[in-house]
Structure 1
Amino acid sequence: MTSSLNFPRVSVPLLLAATLFSSCARRPQASGAVASTAVSVPTPAPAATPVAPETPAPAKPAPIGDQSAAQWYLKDPELDKVPGVGATRTYAELLKNLTPTPIVVAVIDSGIDTAHVDLKPILWTNSKEIPGNGIDDDKNGYIDDVHGWNFLGGPDGRNVNAETLEMTRIVAAGRVRFKGKTAATVKPTEKADYALYQKAEKAYKKRLAEETERNKEVESMAGPLTQMVAAMKQALGTEKLDTVALKSANPDDPNLKRAIGGMLEMMRQTGAADADALLTQLNEGMKQERSLLDNSLNLNFNPRADIVKDNPDDVTQRYYGNNDLHGPDPMHGTHVSGIIAAVRDNNLGVQGLAPAPVRIMTVRAVPDGDERDKDIANAIRYAVDNGASIINMSFGKEFSPQRAAVEAAFKYAAAKNVLLVHAAGNENQNLDVSDNYPASFYMNKATVPNLLTVGASGPKDNAALPADFSNYSKKAVDVFAPGVAIFSTLPGSTFGNESGTSMASPVTAGVAAVLKSYFPKLTAADLKRIIMQSAQVHHTQVSVPGTEKTADFSTLSVTGGVVDMYEAVKLAQKAAM
Structure 2
Amino acid sequence: MQNPIIDMRYRSSVMRNAGRFGGSIFKIATVAAALSGLLLEDSLAHAEQKQAHRGMTAPSQKAGHPAYYIPGEVLVKFKDEASRSAIASLSADMGAKEVRAMSVNATVIHRYKLDGTLSVDEAVLKYRRDPAVEYAEPNYLYWLQIIPNDTQFDSLWGLHNIGQTVDGTAGKTDADIDAPEAWDISTGSPNVIVAVIDSGIAYDHPDLAPNIWTNPGEIPGNGIDDDGNGLVDDVHGWDFSANDSDPIDPVDLNPEGNPGHGTHLAGIIAGAGNNGTGVTGVMWTAKLMALKAGGVNRFLSTTAIVSAINYAVTNHARVINASFAGPDCSQALYDAVSVANDADILFVAAAGNGGTDVIGDDNDSTPNFPANFSAPTVCDGQQKAALANVIAVAATDQNDRLASFSNFGATTVQVAAPGVRIISTKPTSNVTNVLLHNFDSNPTGLGYVFGGTNSTWGITNSASSSQPNSLTDSPNGNYRDSTDSFAVGPVFTTEGRRGCRLDSRVRFQTEQEFDQVFPETSKDSGTTWEPLRPLTGDSEAQFVPFTWGDIADGVAGSRFRFRFVSDKTMVFDGVYLDDIRIACTAGLPSGTTDYQFLQGTSMATPHVAGLAGLLLSVNPNLTVSQLRNAILSTVDRKPSLGGKVSAGGRINARAALSSVAAYFTVTTNKAGAGTGSVISDSPGIDCLRWEVPAR
Report the TM-score range of the alignment, normalised by the length of the smaller protein.
0.5 to 0.7
Asked if structure 1 preserves the Cα contact closer than 8 Å seen for 2:202 and 2:249, the reply is no
- Cα distance in 2 for partners of 1:332, 1:159 equals 11
Selected match of 2:419 from 461, 483, 502: 483
Is residue 70 from structure 1 mapped to residue 158 from structure 2 by the alignment? Answer: no
Question: In the TM superposition, what are the counterparts of 1:439-478 in structure 2 within 5 Å?
Answer: 439-440=372-373, 441=375, 443=378, 444-461=383-400, 465-478=401-414
What is the TM-score normalised by the length of structure 2? 0.47
Is residue 360 from structure 1 mapped to residue 347 from structure 2 by the alignment? Answer: no
- Cα distance in 1 for partners of 2:625, 2:399 equals 30
Q: 1:430 to 1:129 in 2, by over 3 A?
A: same
SS in 2 for 1:74: coil
- Cα distance in 2 for partners of 1:112, 1:159 equals 5
What residue number does 1:396 align with?
Answer: 325
What residue number does 1:211 align with?
Answer: none
What residue number does 1:409 align with?
Answer: 336
Question: In the TM superposition, what are the counterparts of 1:266-277 in structure 2 within 5 Å?
Answer: none
**Displacement after TM superposition at 1:574 (Å):** 3.7
Question: In the TM superposition, what are the counterparts of 1:273-422 in structure 2 within 5 Å?
Answer: 287-288=255-256, 331-356=260-285, 358-367=286-295, 368-400=297-329, 403-422=330-349
Question: In the TM superposition, what are the counterparts of 1:184-223 in structure 2 within 5 Å?
Answer: none
Asked if structure 1 preserves the Cα contact closer than 8 Å seen for 2:413 and 2:645, the reply is yes
- Cα distance in 1 for partners of 2:603, 2:405 equals 12
- Cα distance in 2 for partners of 1:508, 1:538 equals 17
**Displacement after TM superposition at 1:387 (Å):** 1.4
Q: Deviations over 1:501-550 (max 9, x none)?
A: 0000000000110001111111111111110001111124xxxxxxxxxx
- Cα distance in 2 for partners of 1:458, 1:498 equals 12
**Displacement after TM superposition at 1:355 (Å):** 3.4
- Cα distance in 2 for partners of 1:18, 1:534 equals 29
Q: 1:435 to 1:343 in 2, by over 3 A?
A: same
**Displacement after TM superposition at 1:412 (Å):** 1.1
**Which has more helix, going by share of residues?**
1
Is residue 531 from structure 1 mapped to residue 631 from structure 2 by the alignment? Answer: yes
What residue number does 2:174 align with?
Answer: 82
Selected match of 1:561 from 642, 649, 656: 649
Q: Deviations over 1:406-445 (max 9, x none)?
A: 1111121111111100000001100111021113335434
What residue number does 1:6 align with?
Answer: none
What residue number does 1:133 align with?
Answer: 222
**Displacement after TM superposition at 1:27 (Å):** 3.9
Give the alignment's Cα RMSD to 1 decimal: 3.4
Is residue 20 from structure 1 mapped to residue 7 from structure 2 by the alignment? Answer: yes
- The amino acid that maps onto 2:335 is A
**Displacement after TM superposition at 1:133 (Å):** 1.4
- Cα distance in 2 for partners of 1:81, 1:17 equals 21
- The amino acid that maps onto 1:497 is F
What residue number does 1:188 align with?
Answer: none
What residue number does 1:305 align with?
Answer: none
What residue number does 2:660 align with?
Answer: 572
Asked if structure 1 preserves the Cα contact closer than 8 Å seen for 2:249 and 2:262, the reply is no
- The amino acid that maps onto 2:310 is R
**Displacement after TM superposition at 1:384 (Å):** 1.1
Asked if structure 1 preserves the Cα contact closer than 8 Å seen for 2:323 and 2:601, the reply is yes
What residue number does 1:514 align with?
Answer: 614
What residue number does 2:23 align with?
Answer: 29
Asked if structure 2 preserves the Cα contact closer than 8 Å seen for 1:101 and 1:518, the reply is no
- The amino acid that maps onto 1:434 is T
Counting aligned pairs with the same residue, the percent is 34
Q: 1:330 to 1:136 in 2, by over 3 A?
A: farther
- Cα distance in 2 for partners of 1:19, 1:390 equals 26
- Cα distance in 1 for partners of 2:205, 2:249 equals 22
- The amino acid that maps onto 2:338 is K
Q: Deviations over 1:118-152 (max 9, x none)?
A: 01111000121011111110001111000001111
- Cα distance in 1 for partners of 2:426, 2:249 equals 21
Is residue 504 from structure 1 mapped to residue 431 from structure 2 by the alignment? Answer: no
- The amino acid that maps onto 1:365 is A
Q: Deviations over 1:30-79 (max 9, x none)?
A: 1389xxxxxxxxxxxxxxxxxxxxxxxxxxxxxx9611111001126999
- The amino acid that maps onto 1:375 is A
Aligned residues: 352
SS in 2 for 1:429: coil
Q: 1:506 to 1:142 in 2, by over 3 A?
A: same
- Cα distance in 2 for partners of 1:117, 1:160 equals 14
Selected match of 1:431 from 363, 366, 369: 363
- Cα distance in 1 for partners of 2:630, 2:243 equals 41
- Cα distance in 2 for partners of 1:508, 1:432 equals 21
- Cα distance in 1 for partners of 2:388, 2:220 equals 37
- The amino acid that maps onto 1:501 is T
Asked if structure 1 preserves the Cα contact closer than 8 Å seen for 2:237 and 2:245, the reply is no
- Cα distance in 2 for partners of 1:68, 1:340 equals 14
Q: 1:505 to 1:129 in 2, by over 3 A?
A: same
- Cα distance in 1 for partners of 2:362, 2:622 equals 32
SS in 1 for 2:416: strand
What is the TM-score normalised by the length of structure 1? 0.56
Bigger RCO (CA 8 Å, 6+ sep): 1
Asked if structure 1 preserves the Cα contact closer than 8 Å seen for 2:5 and 2:25, the reply is no
Asked if structure 2 preserves the Cα contact closer than 8 Å seen for 1:153 and 1:160, the reply is no
Is residue 118 from structure 1 mapped to residue 118 from structure 2 by the alignment? Answer: no
- Cα distance in 2 for partners of 1:354, 1:513 equals 7
**Displacement after TM superposition at 1:160 (Å):** 12
- Cα distance in 2 for partners of 1:397, 1:29 equals 10
- Cα distance in 1 for partners of 2:597, 2:661 equals 33
SS in 1 for 2:605: helix
Asked if structure 2 preserves the Cα contact closer than 8 Å seen for 1:366 and 1:395, the reply is no
**Displacement after TM superposition at 1:102 (Å):** 1.2
SS in 1 for 2:289: strand
Q: Deviations over 1:361-413 (max 9, x none)?
A: 0000024243222221111110110110100000011124xx22111111211
- Cα distance in 2 for partners of 1:348, 1:557 equals 35
Asked if structure 2 preserves the Cα contact closer than 8 Å seen for 1:423 and 1:501, the reply is yes
Asked if structure 1 preserves the Cα contact closer than 8 Å seen for 2:196 and 2:289, the reply is yes
Q: 1:160 to 1:512 in 2, by over 3 A?
A: closer
Asked if structure 2 preserves the Cα contact closer than 8 Å seen for 1:75 and 1:89, the reply is no
SS in 2 for 1:31: strand
**Which has more strand, going by share of residues?**
2
SS in 1 for 2:631: helix
